[in-house]
Structure 1
């Protein structure tokens, strides 16, 4: 009887110790979790308990904290980009509007037909710039609001790329560019949305026409790697790294909305590929893997 009572007492004591340690660990986790939420730190939650369930709980909370940190950074970056976007859009809208208002005033005060034609020509150019900006903004908002591509089909990449180059050939030649084209003869077939993939190629060609110093190499390999390479004497590596940022424009191309390459990357990734840019020895190389 005494032996049974002693065993029961030992068990009760051990259970009390276990409960005490568990409560201590819970307080440690609670305090550290609150601290990690309040302070920007990558420190993990430490628990003195050796209990595997308690340690598993701490690891799970660490994992969730990591997700929260990434989302927080994403929100901060998004807010920063939004502020920059509002500033850029305000500037891009205000500049042509100011010019239009000014030339309208001049047009009202002159009877000279030659001056009047010149004023109307400038007003027309500024109006076109505003139309381009609003269309790009609308297009971008539609694209980012979709999580999945539209109707997909098997696409002969060689043919689609050749068609896009052909349609842009007049634009390239007007910029003094005679593209050097090398498309593999082996068929490259991918399942994607035709119009979205065509938009990617068009935006890359438009970018080349803006920034090329007179040359352009377009390559398509059998494994689906597409490169657009051109000399870009006036571009820096910092500018090249920012080309895909929303609303970013190189200073020499302020007529651009800064959305074209951002749209291209979004659509390339939606098609299961990737799009990167690199400045190497004065040459801008856009690489798309599809």
Structure 2
């Protein structure tokens, strides 16, 4: 059954639950108490039976003498605590067994009835019958305490009312429980799907769901499984393509090194001749491109090895300021030759758990990027600073920013290698770039 159908049924039940349960429980309740109720007529009397019996008894006294009638009425003890009045047609009170009232005054019928109503309130039941005697005639009244007037059903209702409340409460509780069960199961299925959708670092693609029902959520689970299949196929395809790409890069790196070495040898040989200025400039440009290609091949090889996790790493506690000074000594002549202003401030010492060779490679890539892409600013700054109780390393230039393409821009492999090495050494870099320059900050990862 579809969820929408179940939901509509619950709505209909919520509308009908009160009238249906009330009528149904009442019907069953009366059937039950009719079977359970067994009461003695000496304790409880039905009003209809009292009226019928009283009329019959009064009729049996007709045409008798007044003294016989009053004597018979006084002897009536059929009903406990009953009060009997016989009022003459002209209002004269002929007889009363009421023990606490002075009946010396004369009454008319209407005033007596009014008096009885005021006197009894809701505590007495009153019935009357016309009694015509041989000498006097008038109305005979019978008054009985209401506590003795009940039918079997009425008494059953009084004694078994708890059953009625339990039945009504059980019926409504059952409806509430069924509704809760429906919504709780629906919620659990949705939560289970949400848990499947949430991936973690050990599981990039969620696992399939077990389809239990063919309803709307079941169809959603089926679509989710189809999505998982597509993700698995895409992931396998991506892995296959990555493997092909790595093999291609490795092969190209190996194949390109030989011709580049030959070209570099011939360039060195040509530089030994006395060439014209334009020829010498051309040789210089060719040499720069060969160096650039060699660096690119090295980066490609390093990227491939890093991505496969095959580049060995030997992490130990290292004085980073010492490594930075050593790298700057090697790069200082290069920057000075290009006319760079070099600003170095390494007063704050840094000690990180890193691989020294990897960190030197990171510095070389970053400084090489400054030389290649920010040469227009003619400025490089390397300094250590305290930021939020953490000592960081900053490399800054005054180039045109990373958002503007450089004539010597490559595929960004150098920065990718930097990111991968920093990631594996639990470090990170933050970049702030603009038209006035770029600042790269290296710092430990936040836990």
- Is TM > 0.5 for Structure 1 vs Structure 2? yes
Whether contact under 8 Å (1:203, 1:261) holds in the other structure is yes
Aligned pairs for 1:10-89 within 5 A: 18=177, 21-23=180-182, 25-26=184-185, 54=188, 58-59=190-191, 61-67=193-199
Whether contact under 8 Å (1:230, 1:283) holds in the other structure is yes
Q: Which residue of 2 aligns with 1:258?
A: 412
Q: Which residue of 2 aligns with 1:243?
A: none
Correspondent of 2:394 among 224, 227, 236:
227
State the shift of 1:21 in Å. Answer: 4.9
Name structure 2 gaps, 5 residues minimum. Answer: 1-161, 206-230, 264-272
Higher fraction of helix: 1
Matches of 2:423 and 2:363 in 1, distance apart? 13
State the shift of 1:190 in Å. Answer: 1.4
Aligned pairs for 1:1-290 within 5 A: 18=177, 21-23=180-182, 25-26=184-185, 54=188, 58-59=190-191, 61-67=193-199, 128-146=291-309, 150-184=313-347, 186-212=348-374, 213-221=377-385, 223-233=390-400, 235=401, 238=403, 250-254=405-409, 256-280=410-434, 282-290=436-444
Alignment CA distance shift 1:157-1:61 (3 Å): same
Alignment CA distance shift 1:126-1:226 (3 Å): closer
State the shift of 1:154 in Å. Answer: 1.2
State the shift of 1:17 in Å. Answer: 6.9
State the shift of 1:63 in Å. Answer: 4.6
Greater RCO (CA < 8 Å, at least 6 residues apart) = 1
Alignment CA distance shift 1:158-1:127 (3 Å): closer
Q: Which residue of 2 aligns with 1:109?
A: none
Alignment CA distance shift 1:196-1:62 (3 Å): same
Matches of 1:189 and 1:274 in 2, distance apart? 15
Instruction: State the TM-score, normalizing by the size of structure 2.
Output: 0.39
Whether contact under 8 Å (2:398, 2:437) holds in the other structure is yes
Deviates more, 1:159-168 or 1:134-143: 134-143
Whether contact under 8 Å (1:269, 1:275) holds in the other structure is no
Matches of 1:15 and 1:156 in 2, distance apart? 73
Whether contact under 8 Å (1:149, 1:271) holds in the other structure is no
State the shift of 1:124 in Å. Answer: 6.4
Alignment CA distance shift 1:283-1:154 (3 Å): same
State the shift of 1:158 in Å. Answer: 0.9
1:56-107 per-position Cα deviation (integer Å, ceiling 9, x unaligned): x644543542439x968xx99xx7xx99xx8xx99xx9xxx9xx9xxx9xxx
State the shift of 1:134 in Å. Answer: 2.7
Q: Which residue of 2 aligns with 1:108?
A: none
Matches of 1:59 and 1:278 in 2, distance apart? 41
Q: Which residue of 2 aligns with 1:247?
A: none
1:19-53 per-position Cα deviation (integer Å, ceiling 9, x unaligned): 675456545x6xxxxxxxxxxxxxxxxxxxxxxxx
Instruction: State the TM-score, normalizing by the size of structure 1.
Output: 0.57
State the shift of 1:264 in Å. Answer: 1.2
1:237-267 per-position Cα deviation (integer Å, ceiling 9, x unaligned): x45xxxxxxxxxx34223x342111211222
